[in-house]
A and B are shown apart, each in its own frame.
Chain A
Amino acid sequence: MPASLVEGNSLLAVDIGSVTTRAAFFDVVEGQYRFIGLGTAPTTAGAPFGNAAYGVQRAIENLQNTIGKPLTNADGHLILPAETDGSGVDQFSATFSLGPALKTVLVGLLPDVSLKSVENLARSSYLQVVDEIHMNDLRRPEEQLDAILKFGPELVLIAGGTNGGATQSIQKTLELIGLASYLIPQTSRPALLFAGNEAMAQTVRASMKNLVSNVITAANIRPLPEVEDLPPAQHQLADLVTVLRETQMPELKEIRALAGGFLIPGAAAHGRMVRYLAQYFNSGRGVLSVDLGASALTLAASFGQDLHLNVFPQFGLGQPLGDLLHHTTLDDLMRWFPLDLPADSLREYLLQKSLYPASLPVSPEELAMEHTLARVLLQLAAHSALSRLPAARRPKSGLLPPLEPILASGAVITNAPTLGQRLMILLDGLQPTGITTLALDQNNLLAMLGGIAEQNSLLPVQVINAGALVYLATVISPVSNQAYGVPIARAKLIRADGSESETEVKMGGLHILPLESGQNARLQLRPLQRADVGLGPGKAGEVDVLGSAIGVVIDARGRPIRLPPEAEKRRELLQRWRARMEG
């Protein structure tokens, strides 16, 4: 490592979430950046404070108490840069994911081409799509106009036309959006992001600049009919979302100034970090990261540089639960509930949780309900994200593609009382296939590290290297269509000390091969009945595995996991699986 790259700079990162504000401190220890400590406080953007800066200040104060180092002066102001006495910090970075989803109108030409891409663009941020307009829209222009005026969007995303392609249809669409914006009072006009035919960019800027609150043009997200290129527009969208949030919460401007101009939405920072990790792990498979928060579930998968970022405001484990039954059924929720309680109790729990999103499950029954909801939210998000992957990335089986590793954050997962519970929420929720490693972003650092990367590209690398992620377990999830109880593989674990464990893997079983934390071993896998243990159908092989407090897990429950239709049998099975993993 060139010494000049690490100059002893300490860095404070804050992430302002909808419920919690986190402040993390990083410093150089023995020539390498390390995560030193975390302070948290409730977010104060809402009433009665109406200013997110109080929460940031309180989180930094709590961090000071944790790390025993003064970061603020007597007036409560951040000491930036650090003083010679060691107080303060050299750099500051900030990410945010607070505030209501931005009301957005999507505009494209063809529903299956540019509109599809603009939908994918919108899903990379915390937006609420209120209307979609396209060439095959059967509404008259007047009706489209009335709809836009009724919804009063804060943002309009427009795409359409390949580079050098259609201009007339885009022009017509722009006239409609311009007219709608003209009819909206100036203080409430939407911002506009155009990511269509690049030949139109100049025209769009010139014609719309006086009609919308802000106009930004980005590289075409559909430069060719068969090519989708989202990253440049995603970057511009993140900037625009930041500007809109700063309008709603002026204190964010001060926070951005402190951060040297670097303030980005948490989802965008998270995506950036996952893309980086895909290169860092270089496993030849995709990296998946899920963050199950109170206001949204973010799911980012990156295959090398190819990032697929999805923000699901409808699948947050807080207020959005009030509408969860618009996306699933109570029966589907009950299928994953291991206790013999009436369905109404689960329904009441999710409704009460939507009213009090910060509340924690106190009793074992409430905890079981919360973990059931987490499983189903992950299932819904994974299913939706999978359907949006390009065909080349999507296995024909309809299952998740091979991923290595899978990372998870969000208090419901990382604060689950046992490692077994954390692992089981992820296995039941995501249902990975083949051989994969599961790890936790215990301190929700990924978004912060993604935010830091703008200022300091070395820090995220070294912090991840130093073990910022908590290794959960290596899991082998064979894919087979055999009946429950049929042997589908034999597995032999050969430890470094020469001791061995061998097991016959039966369909439906959940096996644990003990391997202590830090120990390495060789795992021999011999599939039967053409089961795919992650090496291809019927293919045998060996892999190196690392021990954990849980051990090495073979999840042979099938993909997708099939549960008995009879409620009693199903509950018994769910409890048996959980007892096995937590035993």
Chain B
Amino acid sequence: MFASSLRILPLTTIVRTRALPVEGRVLVRPGQKVTPTDVIAEATINQKHSILDVAAELGIPAARADAALKVKRGQKISKGDVLGESSGIFGREALSPLDGQVVATGGGKIVLETGGIPLQIRAGLAGTVSQIIENRGAILRASGAIIQGAWGNGKMDSGILAGLLKQPDDTLEAAQMDVGLRGSILLGGHVADLKTLQNAAEILVRGLILASLAPHLISAAKQAPYPILLLEGFGKRPMGAQAFKLLSTNLKRETSVNAESFNRFKGTRPEVFISLPISQEPPEPRDIETFSAGQFVRMNWLMRPAQSGTLTQLFEQPQRLPGGIIARCAQIRLETGEVVTAPLSNLEALG
């Protein structure tokens, strides 16, 4: 059976797409080395549109007005520019009330596009541009450590990783954060208090990597100005041993947090990437995993949060779970030595 995979790898090569949601300008070239803050592509979004009735302004029928227009599609115009004029002794002028760009004309009307918000897509990690996606962005290649998570608030940033947890089940308190952590990516445990998120914003952290978050803070986390990535999910859940170990041994390194949402269809997942110096490019992780004995797996099981172990047996026949459901299962030897039966649907191949 195909296995979902969870990447927690100390050294690997990843390939990631950075693309605009709309067409725009690509600012990098193939082979270019990029840092996490480099802009890959930019565009303007959420422009406003004004429909200007030039025919009415000139007092002529719409059918005749197109010939009276003095501007063309694509033309940039300023407030006060002449949009059209009617002929005759009492000819009139229609002037633009706004700065903008003409995006459509017809029927005696002009559509003017104004304003908009600049949108920039950044690299989010240190790597190399391997391919350009025309008018959209680029595909990047990078080597280092990767730790994938369960939930992200949609933001992305990078900074030096600072550790604020000693044990995987620690809770991160507001008082632990001081101004000395400004610009850092903070590694914390569980967050249960709004003040912690607020304090992180006040001292201008670049991101929070957490084990888990109290459910009542989801809305605040979505609004936080910095990326928040949850490795385990919601409720008081300790950090998984592999992620804890890997992150704790990479403190003070340049770390990128891409807290994008977990989207199985697109294949996106929130992830932490730590650039590491390499002499030779390490291999990429396997694309497709299937369950097999000897595999290291992580369990997604509410009552047994963040537990992982070795798959010791794939049962031929479906098994009855403690709750009564019958499902295809595997036997897992947990790191504690305990042996449990878990449904394959609740397992992710680690690696």
- With contacts A142-B50, A362-B303 taken as known, whether A46 is within 8 angstroms of B322 at the C-beta atoms is no
With a CB–CB cut-off of 8 A, which chain B residues contact A185?
Answer: 22-23
With a CB–CB cut-off of 8 A, which chain B residues contact A417?
Answer: 320, 323-326
Interface members, chain A 1-58 (any B CB < 8 Å): 41-42, 44-50, 58
With a CB–CB cut-off of 8 A, which chain A residues contact B1?
Answer: 41-42
When C-beta atoms are compared, the residue in chain A nearest to B267 turns out to be A47
With a CB–CB cut-off of 8 A, which chain A residues contact B235?
Answer: 344-345, 347-348, 351-352
Is the beta-carbon distance between A46 and B267 smaller than 8 angstroms?
Answer: yes
Is the beta-carbon distance between A50 and B267 smaller than 8 angstroms?
Answer: yes
The distance in angstroms between the C-alpha atoms of A345 and B1, with both chains bound, is 31
Is the beta-carbon distance between A367 and B302 smaller than 8 angstroms?
Answer: no
With a CB–CB cut-off of 8 A, which chain B residues contact A356?
Answer: 150, 300, 346
Is the beta-carbon distance between A362 and B323 smaller than 8 angstroms?
Answer: yes
Interface members, chain A 314-357 (any B CB < 8 Å): 344-345, 347-349, 351-352, 355-357
With a CB–CB cut-off of 8 A, which chain B residues contact A136?
Answer: none
**Interface: B46 (CB within 8 A):** yes
With a CB–CB cut-off of 8 A, which chain A residues contact B23?
Answer: 185
> Taking the nearest CB of chain B, how far is it from the CB of A54, in angstroms?
8
When C-beta atoms are compared, the residue in chain B nearest to A175 turns out to be B107
> Taking the nearest CB of chain A, how far is it from the CB of B220, in angstroms?
15
Interface members, chain B 31-56 (any A CB < 8 Å): 46-51
With a CB–CB cut-off of 8 A, which chain A residues contact B162?
Answer: none
With a CB–CB cut-off of 8 A, which chain B residues contact A48?
Answer: 5, 267, 287-288
Is the beta-carbon distance between B325 and A142 smaller than 8 angstroms?
Answer: no
Residue in B51, B150, B266, B345 whose beta carbon sits within 8 Å of that of A358 in the complex: B345
With a CB–CB cut-off of 8 A, which chain A residues contact B4?
Answer: 358
- With contacts A141-B51, A142-B48 taken as known, whether A179 is within 8 angstroms of B323 at the C-beta atoms is no
The distance in angstroms between the C-alpha atoms of A416 and B265, with both chains bound, is 27
State how many residues of chain B have any CB contact under 8 Å with chain A: 48
With a CB–CB cut-off of 8 A, which chain B residues contact A352?
Answer: 233-235, 300, 302
Residue in A41, A149, A366 whose beta carbon sits within 8 Å of that of B302 in the complex: A366
**Interface: A145 (CB within 8 A):** yes
> For this complex, into which size category does the number of interface residues on chain A fall?
35 or more
**Interface: A150 (CB within 8 A):** yes
With a CB–CB cut-off of 8 A, which chain B residues contact A142?
Answer: 48-51
Residue in A45, A49, A145 whose beta carbon sits within 8 Å of that of B51 in the complex: A145
Is the beta-carbon distance between B287 and A367 smaller than 8 angstroms?
Answer: no
- With contacts A99-B265, A145-B51, A146-B49 taken as known, whether A364 is within 8 angstroms of B302 at the C-beta atoms is no
Is the beta-carbon distance between A351 and B233 smaller than 8 angstroms?
Answer: yes
Residue in A46, A182, A362, A369 whose beta carbon sits within 8 Å of that of B104 in the complex: A182
When C-beta atoms are compared, the residue in chain B nearest to A417 turns out to be B324
> Taking the nearest CB of chain A, how far is it from the CB of B232, in angstroms?
9
Is the beta-carbon distance between A360 and B325 smaller than 8 angstroms?
Answer: yes
**Interface: A361 (CB within 8 A):** yes
Is the beta-carbon distance between A100 and B265 smaller than 8 angstroms?
Answer: yes
With a CB–CB cut-off of 8 A, which chain A residues contact B262?
Answer: 355
**Interface: A415 (CB within 8 A):** yes
With a CB–CB cut-off of 8 A, which chain B residues contact A150?
Answer: 46
Is the beta-carbon distance between A359 and B345 smaller than 8 angstroms?
Answer: yes
**Interface: B282 (CB within 8 A):** no
Interface string of A162-188 (1 = CB under 8 A from B): 000000000000010001001101000
Is the beta-carbon distance between B288 and A49 smaller than 8 angstroms?
Answer: yes
**Interface: A503 (CB within 8 A):** no
With a CB–CB cut-off of 8 A, which chain B residues contact A366?
Answer: 301-303, 323
**Interface: A246 (CB within 8 A):** no
The distance in angstroms between the C-alpha atoms of A44 and B266, with both chains bound, is 11
Residue in A46, A99, A149, A359 whose beta carbon sits within 8 Å of that of B300 in the complex: A359
**Interface: A517 (CB within 8 A):** no
With a CB–CB cut-off of 8 A, which chain B residues contact A84?
Answer: none
Is the beta-carbon distance between A348 and B325 smaller than 8 angstroms?
Answer: no
**Interface: A229 (CB within 8 A):** no
- With contacts A48-B287, A418-B324 taken as known, whether A362 is within 8 angstroms of B346 at the C-beta atoms is yes
Interface members, chain B 257-278 (any A CB < 8 Å): 262-268
**Interface: A428 (CB within 8 A):** no
- With contacts A344-B215, A348-B235, A366-B303 taken as known, whether A183 is within 8 angstroms of B111 at the C-beta atoms is yes
Is the beta-carbon distance between B234 and A348 smaller than 8 angstroms?
Answer: yes
Is the beta-carbon distance between A364 and B322 smaller than 8 angstroms?
Answer: yes
The distance in angstroms between the C-alpha atoms of A358 and B51, with both chains bound, is 49
Q: Which of B234, B266, B346 has the most CB of A within 10 A?
A: B234
> Taking the nearest CB of chain B, how far is it from the CB of A326, in angstroms?
11
**Interface: B321 (CB within 8 A):** yes
Is the beta-carbon distance between B104 and A179 smaller than 8 angstroms?
Answer: yes
Is the beta-carbon distance between B301 and A362 smaller than 8 angstroms?
Answer: yes
When C-beta atoms are compared, the residue in chain A nearest to B212 turns out to be A348
When C-beta atoms are compared, the residue in chain B nearest to A343 turns out to be B215
Residue in A141, A348, A355, A367 whose beta carbon sits within 8 Å of that of B324 in the complex: A367
**Interface: A365 (CB within 8 A):** yes
With a CB–CB cut-off of 8 A, which chain A residues contact B151?
Answer: 355
**Interface: A202 (CB within 8 A):** no
Is the beta-carbon distance between A46 and B266 smaller than 8 angstroms?
Answer: yes
**Interface: A397 (CB within 8 A):** no
- With contacts A46-B267, A142-B51, A362-B343 taken as known, whether A367 is within 8 angstroms of B323 at the C-beta atoms is yes
> Taking the nearest CB of chain A, how far is it from the CB of B41, in angstroms?
15
**Interface: A363 (CB within 8 A):** yes
Is the beta-carbon distance between B322 and A363 smaller than 8 angstroms?
Answer: yes
Residue in A146, A149, A415 whose beta carbon sits within 8 Å of that of B325 in the complex: A415
Is the beta-carbon distance between A363 and B267 smaller than 8 angstroms?
Answer: no
Interface members, chain B 1-32 (any A CB < 8 Å): 1-2, 4-5, 22-23
Residue in B2, B302, B322, B325 whose beta carbon sits within 8 Å of that of A42 in the complex: B2
When C-beta atoms are compared, the residue in chain A nearest to B5 turns out to be A48
With a CB–CB cut-off of 8 A, which chain A residues contact B22?
Answer: 152, 185
Is the beta-carbon distance between A359 and B49 smaller than 8 angstroms?
Answer: no
The distance in angstroms between the C-alpha atoms of A417 and B301, with both chains bound, is 18
Is the beta-carbon distance between B150 and A355 smaller than 8 angstroms?
Answer: yes
The distance in angstroms between the C-alpha atoms of A44 and B264, with both chains bound, is 10
> Taking the nearest CB of chain B, how far is it from the CB of A237, in angstroms?
22
Interface members, chain B 305-351 (any A CB < 8 Å): 320-327, 342-343, 345-346
With a CB–CB cut-off of 8 A, which chain A residues contact B325?
Answer: 360-362, 367, 415-417
The distance in angstroms between the C-alpha atoms of A363 and B324, with both chains bound, is 8
**Interface: B103 (CB within 8 A):** yes
> Taking the nearest CB of chain A, how far is it from the CB of B66, in angstroms?
15
> Taking the nearest CB of chain A, how far is it from the CB of B234, in angstroms?
4
The distance in angstroms between the C-alpha atoms of A418 and B324, with both chains bound, is 8
Q: Which of A150, A359, A360, A366 has the most CB of B within 10 A?
A: A360
Listed A/B pairs (23) with beta-carbon separation below 8 Å: A47-B266, A48-B267, A49-B288, A142-B49, A142-B50, A150-B46, A185-B22, A345-B302, A347-B234, A349-B302, A356-B300, A359-B301, A359-B346, A360-B327, A362-B301, A362-B322, A362-B343, A363-B323, A364-B323, A366-B301, A366-B323, A416-B325, A417-B326
What 6 pairs between A and B have smallest CB-CB spacing?
A47-B267, A417-B324, A348-B235, A367-B323, A351-B234, A46-B265
A46-B264, A146-B46, A357-B264 known; 16 new pairs, CB 8 Å cut-off, are A42-B2, A46-B266, A347-B215, A348-B215, A349-B302, A352-B234, A355-B151, A358-B345, A360-B325, A362-B342, A364-B322, A364-B324, A366-B303, A366-B323, A369-B302, A417-B325
Instruction: Give me the interface of B with A, judged by CB distance under 8 Å.
Output: 1-2, 4-5, 22-23, 46-51, 103-104, 107, 111, 150-151, 215, 218, 233-235, 262-268, 287-288, 300-303, 320-327, 342-343, 345-346
